[in-house]
Structure formats: structure tokens, C-alpha cells
Structure 1
């Protein structure tokens, strides 16, 4: 039997679990502040994992002596209670290596429009 969960509910559940775990470790009230720092520090990974849609935009031009072949990928998703559209830098194994841009949007419609406009 397959269990389907709305992406917004799933993303909210992950963040709630992160906050709860941090509160267990560091005390009540610390969880939300620490979770915000985790989100900021690991933004590219969270955005990539929270995506609902993705669209290849082209190759990423390496910066310096990078030997990896990376791609620019447009993403649309829901994270921390908000819709977003952005551009992630991803390797051939599907691992995020960076985030070029991320725009939070007040509605799914606006996020989809922003996603469609990404080049």
C-alpha cells in the first residue's frame, strides 16, 4: 500500500522534527532559533530536498579549478511555510552543490510563474 503525503505537510513535518530534536538536545525555546540557523547554513541542501519540480537549465560553468561537471537546475517547492522558486547547482548523482538564487513567493501560483521564468 502506498502512503501519499502533500509536499507542504511533509516539509513542515521535517522542520517540526528538526525543531523537536534540537529542543530535546538544547532545551525548550532553542529549537526554532537553531533550526533557522541550520536552514541558513544548509540552504542549498534544504531547497534541493524540498523541491516539487525541477527543470534542467544547462551546464554550470566551473569556478576556478573545479573538475566536477555540474548543472544548473530550476526548482520549485515548499519550505518552512513558504513557496519558492530557485536555481540549484547539482552534480550528475543528484547532489546539491550550491544555490544560485531562491525567491520566496506568497502563493503557489506566483512560485510557478517565477519557476517558469527561470532561464
Structure 2
């Protein structure tokens, strides 16, 4: 499935809200600094909350702990609890 192959980019682009969570401790051989950013959005009629690993140019490099919700308020509540 195409969505599975590009999951990080699709979710990053579909975000409606984001909040910086702090630096991401990348492996020693990583050449640039990365941040953790909580995101909230909607794809295919379902709301999601996840943490994206993002570089300084705003490019997403990974997706951590994605959760899916049928109702927006449940997703908002989960987003607000992201640390």
C-alpha cells in the first residue's frame, strides 16, 4: 500500500496542529540535530496523534507512537497529554 510506504510524510503533511516536545537524541553518527514534534491531524476520516522526528528544515524523518481515534475530542485530549 502506498500510504504505508510514505506514512511519515502523509501524517506530517496532514497535521492540523503541532507542538515541539524537545530534542530527539539521535545516534552518534547523525550529522544534524533532530526534534520531537507532537502532531494532531486527520486522514481517511480518522483522527491521529503521533510524534514526528523532524529536522531543522521541517522535514519529517520518522513517526513514533501513532494512535488513531474516531472522534476529534479524543484525539485532542491525547494530543494535549503528549510529552
Category of TM-score, reference length = shorter chain: over 0.9
Larger Rg: 1
The equivalent of 1:91 in structure 2 is 55
- 1:6-17 alignment runs, 5 A limit: none
TM-score, length basis structure 1: 0.67
TM-score, length basis structure 2: 0.95
- Structure 1 stretches of 4+ moved >2 Å: none
The equivalent of 1:8 in structure 2 is none
SS in 2 for 1:75: strand
Specify which structure has the higher proportion of helix. 1
Structure 1: which 5+ residue stretches go unaligned?
1-36
CA displacement at 1:80 relative to structure 2 = 1.7
Specify which structure has the higher proportion of strand. 2
- 1:12-27 alignment runs, 5 A limit: none
The equivalent of 1:63 in structure 2 is 27
Structure 2: which 5+ residue stretches go unaligned?
none
- 1:1-119 alignment runs, 5 A limit: 37-119=1-83
SS in 2 for 1:93: coil
